[in-house]
């Protein structure tokens, strides 16, 4: 595996009675924002959950930052963070307590975690809610706190499943800025989204998955060249209707 | 008969349907309905057999029976009040449909009245169904007065439910919505256990104190005093036995209480609902920023998280408190320092500690809110699970420490044997729950037995085996040592260990 590759998937398959992901080959470079698009039930979430180590593939190999996920899952997980579409939070914890717990799970040293937690809560506008339990948070606030948890250990690879769902314009802007900052700082982001404008504006490369197979991949211009052009929405609809 | 959509009758039908759906799970409802229905019909036959040919009771006997019937009503009243309080809290804080109802054109007063009515009917339903075989058989066999049980129980439920709702609204007004949830759950638990505690308190009284209590009751039972047989104090019992005037009085009092609650406090209800929503965001903008405690070892991080979640869960707290309340009589036994009760006390403490540990382990292991977060983390799962078991075992043992230390101080040998069975039962129950636990939402705590019968059965067998071990070991170690007890101890100990082995052998793959 090349040193500049953050994620490499080789011939990865997963079945749940029927095939969910079939012989998927995917390579995401370090410092890249990669958008994985596809219709509902295409296998996007299954793919991300396998990368995050939450699902074991039936076949194939996954390497994260050059570490084989099957042979050394702890080392691979140490380098990444996963944020599902339904935030993984505890209703009865306060924001700082949640970050304290997540930092503990990733073994982050106090001198790194404490200032980073304060910085993240400030940046995401959650500091003023520091004394509240998350059970009273709005969907957007929960999503932002889960994102803060994902970033508390400064992961090299950030995996996000529909990170902008349910966010208002201001919160969506904050999250997008944070992701772009992460990429500019050398981090890698893989995200799925149904908001194609987001992928169009933010992603350096786009992969389109359907029926568990990667049917197209490349920059927006490369994808346009394969079709009649137009917006990403036009490209997406053409490619998924052809497959 | 379906009500006109939007009418109070229609809304009441909806509420009762919701109560029924929430009471039983769809998958097992049919089976349970058949089983319970058959038992219920069987009870009708039994009641018919008992009442057939029974002569009508003379007035003197009825006035004595009214005392017993009133005491029964008091016992039922505590249970009804406890259920009413729980349902009132649910209607304010748990049900997700209140916003929908209040945003509809229905007047808020009607919504509140119907909801209070549904709570009352819901509270009464269990007791009405239980009483039905006796009452129906009585009606057929000529004991028509027994039909009064239906309106008497319904009126009693309406009265206690109205009081429960009034208390809930008062709590919201005085201490706020957030604290009301906790306090109401605790009061509900205490009310549910009140009669048990009082009965145990009498049993545990010294002979002199019992005599004093009996004298006092006798004095009050003298003619013209509060507890005299013809006193108004026994009115609920007389109503239950079918006396027309007392029954009418009971219905009027309950009806007045209901109307007063529905008509004059519906505004509190609406404000309570608004507060329930807004209280969650009430603390915005505190000056000081919270500081996290980072860099702690993984086990400590997990322990702190689990204990915070336990301490902030009012439902769980009330359940734990209920278990502690049932432990109180054992505490009185300990304080009496009577060596003769040590084996029984060991058995009781052992069962309680196992039960408490199993409940807490279920909460921290099976009801984990974010299993994906733990699985996605590089932290060793084995360490996390061990820390979770410790989070359940440590508080249990801390609570048990007080009676155990006292027991050791009284008698070192039996005290240490008690410590052994309590610790063993606690750890075994926690491990059984860890190995057999299935993921479930935290809200399913009270019905966890239904969803995982194997685990609960193994916990029960283990708990009783350890309790039996404690009982016979202390007897065997006591004066007049008995080889027979020692043999029994080896049998119960073997069952306890085999149960643990079985729990491990059939553990779920995830563990």
- The ipTM (two decimal places) reads 0.84
Q: What is the pLDDT of residue A12?
A: 94
Cβ contact, residue pair B304, A136, below 8 Å: no
Which pLDDT does position B278 carry in this prediction?
Answer: 59
Q: What is the pLDDT of residues A15-67, one digit of tens each?
A: 988 889 999 999 999 999 999 999 988 999 999 999 999 889 999 999 999 99
pLDDT of residue B231: 78
Structure tokens at A238: 């053409």
Split at pLDDT 50, 70, 90, the class of A197 is confident
Q: Which of B295, B309, B379 lies nearest to residue A113, judging by beta carbons?
A: B295
Give the Cα separation of B193 and B322 in Å (integer): 7
Burial B285-322 (b: 16+ CB within 10 A, else e): eeeeebebbbbbebbebbbbbbebbbebbbbbbbbbbb
Bridge partners of residue A213, in order along the sequence: A210
Distance from CA of B311 to the nearest CA of A (A): 9
Residue of A105, A111, A136 with shortest CB distance to B379: A105
pTM for the model? 0.71
Contact with chain A for residue B376, Cβ under 8 A: yes
CA distance B392 to chain A (A): 17
pLDDT at A241: 82
E strand spans, B160-267:
none
Would the CB atoms of B372 and A54 count as touching at under 8 Å? yes
- Output the average pLDDT for chain A: 90
Question: How many C-beta atoms surround the C-beta of residue B471 within 10 A?
Answer: 24
Contact map slice: B 53-82 vs A, CB within 8 A: none
Distance from CA of A54 to the nearest CA of B (A): 6
**Could you tell me which chain B residue has the CA closest to the CA of A79?**
B378
What is the tens place of the pLDDT at every residue in B23-37? 655 555 677 778 888
| Rounded Cα–Cα distance for residues B331 and A226 (Å) | 80
Return the number of other C-beta atoms located less than 10 Å from residue B100's C-beta. 9
Nearest CA in chain B to A98: B305
Asked if A131's CB is within 8 angstroms of B286's CB, the reply is: yes
The whole-number pLDDT of residue B509 equals 59
Residues of chain B with C-beta less than 8 angstroms from the C-beta of A86: none
pLDDT of residue B284: 47
What's phi and psi for B222, nearest 5 deg? -65, 155
**Cross-chain Cβ contact A75/B378 below 8 Å:** yes
Residue A59 touches chain B, beta carbons under 8 Å: no
Task: List C-alpha distances in Å: B384 to A85, B234, B426, B435.
Answer: 24, 58, 19, 14
What residues in chain B have per-residue pLDDT under 50? 282-285, 511
Instruction: Say whether residue B302 is in contact with chain A using an 8 A CB cutoff.
Output: yes
> If pLDDT is split at 50, 70 and 90, which confidence band does A161 have?
very high
Residues of A in contact with B380 (CB under 8 A): 74
Token couple for A207? 């992969």
Per-residue pLDDT reduced to its tens digit, A59-103? 999 999 999 999 999 999 999 999 998 888 998 899 999 999 999
């Amino acid at each position: 595996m090349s040193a500049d590759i953050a994620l490499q998937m080789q011939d990865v398959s997963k079945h749940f009675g029927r095939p969910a992901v079939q012989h998927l080959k995917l390579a995401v470079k370090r410092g890249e924002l990669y958008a994985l698009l596809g219709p509902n039930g295409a296998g996007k979430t299954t793919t991300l959950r396998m990368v995050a180590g939450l699902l074991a593939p039936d076949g194939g190999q996954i390497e994260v930052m050059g570490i084989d996920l099957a042979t050394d899952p702890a080392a691979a997980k140490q380098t990444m963070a996963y944020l599902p579409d339904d935030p993984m939070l505890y209703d009865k914890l306060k924001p700082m307590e949640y970050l304290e717990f997540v930092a503990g799970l990733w073994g982050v040293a106090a001198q790194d975690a404490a200032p980073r937690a304060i910085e993240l809560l400030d940046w995401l506008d959650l500091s003023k809610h520091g004394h509240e339990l998350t059970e009273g948070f709005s969907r957007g606030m929960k999503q932002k706190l889960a994102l803060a948890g994902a970033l508390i250990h400064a992961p090299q690879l950030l995996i996000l499943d529909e990170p902008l769902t349910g966010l208002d314009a201001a919160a969506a802007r904050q999250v997008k800025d944070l992701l772009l900052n992460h990429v500019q700082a050398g981090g890698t982001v893989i995200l799925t989204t149904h908001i194609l404008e987001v992928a169009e504006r933010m992603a350096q490369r786009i992969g389109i998955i359907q029926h568990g197979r990667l049917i197209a991949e490349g920059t927006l211009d490369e994808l346009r060249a394969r079709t009649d052009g137009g917006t990403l929405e036009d490209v997406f609809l053409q490619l998924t209707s052809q497959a | 008969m379906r009500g006109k959509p939007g009418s109070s009758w229609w809304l009441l039908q909806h509420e009762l349907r919701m109560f029924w759906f929430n009471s039983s799970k769809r998958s097992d409802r049919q089976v349970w309905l058949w089983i319970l229905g058959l038992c219920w019909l069987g009870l009708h036959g039994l009641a018919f057999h008992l009442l057939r040919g029974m002569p009508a009771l003379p007035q003197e006997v009825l006035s004595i029976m009214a005392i017993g019937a009133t005491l029964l009503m008091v016992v039922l009243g505590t249970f009804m009040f406890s259920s009413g309080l729980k349902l009132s809290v649910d209607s304010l804080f748990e049900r997700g449909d209140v916003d929908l109802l209040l945003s509809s054109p229905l007047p808020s007063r009607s919504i509140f009245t119907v909801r209070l009515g549904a709570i009352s009917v819901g509270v009464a339903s269990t007791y009405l169904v239980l009483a039905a075989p006796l009452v129906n058989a009585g009606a057929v066999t000529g004991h028509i007065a027994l039909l009064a049980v239906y309106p008497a129980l319904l009126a009693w439920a309406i009265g206690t439910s109205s009081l429960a709702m009034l208390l809930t609204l008062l709590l919201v007004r005085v201490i706020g919505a957030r604290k009301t949830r906790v306090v109401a759950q605790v009061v509900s638990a205490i009310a549910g256990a009140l009669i048990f505690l009082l009965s145990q308190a009498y049993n545990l009284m010294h002979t002199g104190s019992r005599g004093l209590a009996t004298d006092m009751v006798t004095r009050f039972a003298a003619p013209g005093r509060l507890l005299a047989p013809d006193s108004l104090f026994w009115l609920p019992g007389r109503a239950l036995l079918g006396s027309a005037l007392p029954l009418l009085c009971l219905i009027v009092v309950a009806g007045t209480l209901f109307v007063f609650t529905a008509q004059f406090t519906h505004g509190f209800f609406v404000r309570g609902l608004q507060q329930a929503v807004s209280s969650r965001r009430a603390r915005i903008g505190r000056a000081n920023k919270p500081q996290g405690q980072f860099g702690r070892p993984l086990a400590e991080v997990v322990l702190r998280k689990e204990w915070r979640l336990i301490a902030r869960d009012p439902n769980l707290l009330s359940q734990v408190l209920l278990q502690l309340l049932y432990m109180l009589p054992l505490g009185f036994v300990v304080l009496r320092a009577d060596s003769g009760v040590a084996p029984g006390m060991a058995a009781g403490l052992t069962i309680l500690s196992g039960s408490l540990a199993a409940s807490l382990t279920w909460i921290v292991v099976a009801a984990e809110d974010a299993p994906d977060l733990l699985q996605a983390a590089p932290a060793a799962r084995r360490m996390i699970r061990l820390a979770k078991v410790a989070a359940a075992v440590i508080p249990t043992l801390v609570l048990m420490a007080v009676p155990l230390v006292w027991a050791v101080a009284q008698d070192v040998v039996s005290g240490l044997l008690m410590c052994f069975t309590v610790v063993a039962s606690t750890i075994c129950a926690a491990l059984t729950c860890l190995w057999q636990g299935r993921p479930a939402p935290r809200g399913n705590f009270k019905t966890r037995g239904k969803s995982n019968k194997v685990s609960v059965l193994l916990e029960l067998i283990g708990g009783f085996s350890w309790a039996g071990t404690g009982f016979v070991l202390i007897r065997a170690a006591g004066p007049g040592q008995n080889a027979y007890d020692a043999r029994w101890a080896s049998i119960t100990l073997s069952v306890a260990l085999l149960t643990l082995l079985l729990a491990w052998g059939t553990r779920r793959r995830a563990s």
